Structure 1
Amino acid sequence: MKETIKKGTLILCGLLIAIGVAGKVLPQEGNPAAAPVVAEKVLVPGGQSVGVKMDVRGVLIVGLEEIEGKNGEKVNPGLLSGLQIGDIIMEINGTEVYRAEEVQSLVNEARDTVKLKVKRNQRIFTVSISPVESGEDGLYKLGIWVKDKTAGIGTLTYYDPSNSTFGALGHGIVDPETNSILSVEAGVLLQSQVQEVSEGKNGDPGEIRGIFYHTSDPLGKLEKNNGFGVFGTAYDPIENPLYEKPIAVGTRDQVELGRAYILSTLSDNEIKRFEIEIEKIEEQDSPEDKSMVIRVTDEELLEESGGIVQGMSGSPIIQNDRIIGAVTHVFLKDPQRGYGIFIEWMLEESNLVEK
């Protein structure tokens, strides 16, 4: 009998320790001796159309071309040195580079072999290149095309009132020519006003077209861009008129097949709730995109946009009064269907909050 009681005590202690580690433990009201309750994470759902404007850290190589020298010979110094489209030039001869025009200036200043600090994926290395004096304009060139800024329209996913952070898009901003995730040097989240919605059709995903406004008064600063969204810190609290209070986060094991809702802003520039169906849920034990397959069933949304269109990425997915994820992609051949990502992965990959 004593042995049985001892085992039961050990199991109970282990359970209490697990609860303590999992989250903040709060006593139940009116009964201090009652079992503890784990505080839930809460967020303000987004749904607002937002503009994302950011400077790229370093300059991104988006093209390689041959340069015709003064002797008439055509050569591509960048290609010969091993540079690739998608590489990011961080430094030239020890000077940090932030603007495309700085590349031309530093190369012409050197007029001789230059050393480039280059980032490719997660690897950083140094390359030495001898520029060619162009027979066309006399400038010294490396045979590369570079860019340093990007901007676009998307949807805010959430605002976290506990630490003033936000997440949007549900996927990273990539360079359309290289499909590379762009590194953030500086950037802002802006208010956006929808001007037009082009309907999605088979083979054409459609698009929300909008303009940035109040550019001198941004919503927040961008701090991170990765495969799970763009993240940063808001300057002031962000509210959603559909929700008086923040709502609980739904973990991936709480996501169910069946009815749910997305929050998006279309041509009337108001956040609206649209009905969807969750058709498939992927089993994921670590952060991945494409966590679930969703289908738009809301007649109003289907009539106006044909389903999911570009610019709706980041629209929060709500189920059972919890924010469970965000819209990420549309099926090119079926705009009524698309992918969503678990909100857990966005929060974890933001690296702006405690895990």
Structure 2
Amino acid sequence: MHQGTISARTIKILILVSLAFLASGLALVAGAWVLNLIAGIPGEIRMSYGAPREITAGLPIEVYMPSHKKQVIRVVNLDSGLRPDATSREASLLKVGRGQKLRIDPVSIGTSHVEVRVARILPPRQVRISVVPEIRVVPGGHAIGVLLAAQGVIVVGHYPVVDANGRSHYPGSSSGIQVGDVILKVDDIPVEGTSHLETLIDRAGLEGRAAEITLSRDGAIIKVNVTPVRTKEIGLSGSPARDIKYRIGVLVRDNAAGVGTLSFYDLKTRIYGALGHVITDAATNREVDVKDGRIVAACIVGIHQGQRGQPGEKIGTFDGTRDVLGSITKNSKLGIFGTLSSMPPSNPFYPRGVPVALAEEVTEGEAEMLTVIDDDRIERFDVYIERVLRNRTPGAKGLIVRITDQRLISRTGGIVQGMSGSPIIQNGRLAAVVTHVFLADPTRGYATLAEWMVGEAGLVAERSFTPTWSRRRDAAA
């Protein structure tokens, strides 16, 4: 063996020793993660100012409170009554035994860091605690009618008009009518619906002239002249033509999207949120443009009960020209949002409003839902939050809720169409908003977290709405 060389056996030993150190290091890190998880210690805690948080220790822990010029939180062992010395200039220690409860009291807005040790052989865990301002809104529950435009009908597509000679024409698109346009008038006559539009187009065609169509597009008023094409209506079985009609080749829908529920509103800014999910066109499945939309007060005159495989619905009436509550400025995956032009009737249960629960504050357990099932009277019904879904990003499906109120079940069968937007209150806080019903079980459905909707409304744009438990799930992966 030459001097300065290393034998194969020595290299093997060095590799084994290195692997052993690496394995022990990984085991230490994994052990620390598992023990911290068992101990119930998250890496970050968000709290609303004025809302204490309790944590039950799964293992004995030691909490080290560093000295701060500004005190953000106070902690106390609820079982022993002990708390760190808040006046100390040095880090103070609080011991919490297995099964004991640690309460964190938010004292001021800001961020604090504490050090938690589960076992002395493991590295300590740094926990970031953020205290954010409490946001208050007035819960809704009111029945509303949703109008996608103030008047007229909405263009959702084009189709070829086949004349008597078999030739195809696109008179509407050729004249400049676009998908998303709102047809307000024909020959200066306000359009009151799809059948009324057909009548007005027919009249122009029978008179052998072009129809002057008034459109609304992105807030601008546009007029176009369209010459209707004569076509034949063929029977469903291919029977001879039964009538002659004139068409312009545009697919339209009425401006009413249906009945829903107001979720919340802010007394100061008059910003509101409703529905909890996006409005899409049934024919195209595309998100509907609601720049000219509005919400109006509605009355519930009947209920179609939901059954397994067949969702029920609220039967509502509303007048699109009266009882206007506000405009619609946003149609997103978390609902519709806008500004109220007139205030709805005061919520009979929470007239002064309630705090909005942070995502982490919503738990499995009892709650109540506010909604209308008769006329315009808001009622509250018992529900149970079965599961809070640990979603990485906000969406319409944030938790699973079950109707437990037998009075509501006997009346509606459970969750029905038109309940979308109904607020869910838990522990005196706006926790969630109903969005969907399960077809297989109408007593159960999805809801979105209220904090997500409030963020989407822009009421607290400066705040992060990523729940801390989603980051813990990322870490676990």
TM-score by length of 2: 0.55
Partner amino acid, structure 1, of 2:352: K
Name the structure 1 match of 2:92: none
Deviates more, 1:190-199 or 1:266-275: 266-275
In 1: Cα distance, 2:417 partner to 2:436 partner: 8
Contact 1:169 1:314 in 2 (8 A): yes
Q: Tell me: CA distance 1:252–1:307, structure 2 relative to 1, closer, same or farther (3 Å).
A: same
Partner amino acid, structure 1, of 2:397: K
Candidates 49, 58, 77, aligned match of 2:143: 49
Q: CA deviation at 1:344?
A: 1.9
Q: Equivalent residues in 2 for 1:96-111 (5 A)?
A: 98-99=183-184
Residue identity (%): 36
The alignment yields a C-alpha RMSD, in angstroms, of: 4.0
Name the structure 1 match of 2:279: 173
Q: CA deviation at 1:226?
A: 2.0
In 2: Cα distance, 1:46 partner to 1:140 partner: 43
Name the structure 2 match of 1:40: 134
In 2: Cα distance, 1:345 partner to 1:227 partner: 11
Name the structure 1 match of 2:446: 339
Contact 1:262 1:275 in 2 (8 A): yes
Q: CA deviation at 1:214?
A: 8.9
Contact 2:281 2:288 in 1 (8 A): yes
Q: CA deviation at 1:25?
A: 4.1
Deviations 1:226-275 (A, max 9, x none): 22111111124442111142110001111101211111111264211111
Q: Tell me: CA distance 1:329–1:139, structure 2 relative to 1, closer, same or farther (3 Å).
A: same
In 1: Cα distance, 2:146 partner to 2:305 partner: 22
Classify the secondary structure of the residue corresponding to 1:245.
Answer: coil
Q: Equivalent residues in 2 for 1:1-355 (5 A)?
A: 12=68, 25=109, 38-55=132-149, 62=156, 64-69=158-163, 72-75=165-168, 88-89=179-180, 98-99=183-184, 134=230, 141=248, 143-147=249-253, 149-212=255-318, 215-238=321-344, 239-267=346-374, 269-351=376-458, 354-355=461-462
Contact 2:296 2:322 in 1 (8 A): no
Specify which structure has the higher proportion of strand.
1
Q: CA deviation at 1:311?
A: 0.7
Partner amino acid, structure 1, of 2:144: V
Contact 2:155 2:179 in 1 (8 A): yes
Q: Tell me: CA distance 1:44–1:194, structure 2 relative to 1, closer, same or farther (3 Å).
A: same
Q: Tell me: CA distance 1:353–1:25, structure 2 relative to 1, closer, same or farther (3 Å).
A: closer
Classify the secondary structure of the residue corresponding to 1:55.
Answer: coil
Classify the secondary structure of the residue corresponding to 2:410.
Answer: helix
Q: CA deviation at 1:297?
A: 0.7
In 2: Cα distance, 1:251 partner to 1:316 partner: 15
Deviations 1:173-205 (A, max 9, x none): 222222222111323221111101121111211
Deviates more, 1:152-161 or 1:221-230: 221-230
Query: What is the number of equivalent residue pairs in this alignment?
Result: 303
Max Rg structure: 2
Deviations 1:252-310 (A, max 9, x none): 11110121111111126421111111112111232212111111111111111110011
Name the structure 1 match of 2:13: none
Q: Tell me: CA distance 1:144–1:167, structure 2 relative to 1, closer, same or farther (3 Å).
A: same
Q: Tell me: CA distance 1:63–1:37, structure 2 relative to 1, closer, same or farther (3 Å).
A: closer
Q: Tell me: CA distance 1:146–1:38, structure 2 relative to 1, closer, same or farther (3 Å).
A: closer
Classify the secondary structure of the residue corresponding to 1:185.
Answer: coil
Q: Tell me: CA distance 1:134–1:191, structure 2 relative to 1, closer, same or farther (3 Å).
A: same
Q: CA deviation at 1:337?
A: 0.6
In 1: Cα distance, 2:332 partner to 2:315 partner: 23
Q: CA deviation at 1:158?
A: 0.3
In 1: Cα distance, 2:320 partner to 2:246 partner: 40
Partner amino acid, structure 2, of 1:309: V
Contact 2:271 2:457 in 1 (8 A): no
Contact 2:314 2:418 in 1 (8 A): yes
In 2: Cα distance, 1:195 partner to 1:332 partner: 24
Name the structure 2 match of 1:93: none
Contact 2:278 2:332 in 1 (8 A): yes
Structure 2: which 5+ runs fail to align? 1-64, 73-107, 111-129, 188-196, 212-216, 219-226, 233-243, 463-477
Name the structure 2 match of 1:33: none
Partner amino acid, structure 1, of 2:403: V
Partner amino acid, structure 2, of 1:46: G
In 2: Cα distance, 1:303 partner to 1:159 partner: 30
Contact 1:247 1:322 in 2 (8 A): yes
Q: Tell me: CA distance 1:77–1:153, structure 2 relative to 1, closer, same or farther (3 Å).
A: same
In 2: Cα distance, 1:59 partner to 1:265 partner: 28
Structure 1: which 5+ runs fail to align? 1-7, 17-23, 27-35, 82-86, 91-96, 111-117, 120-130
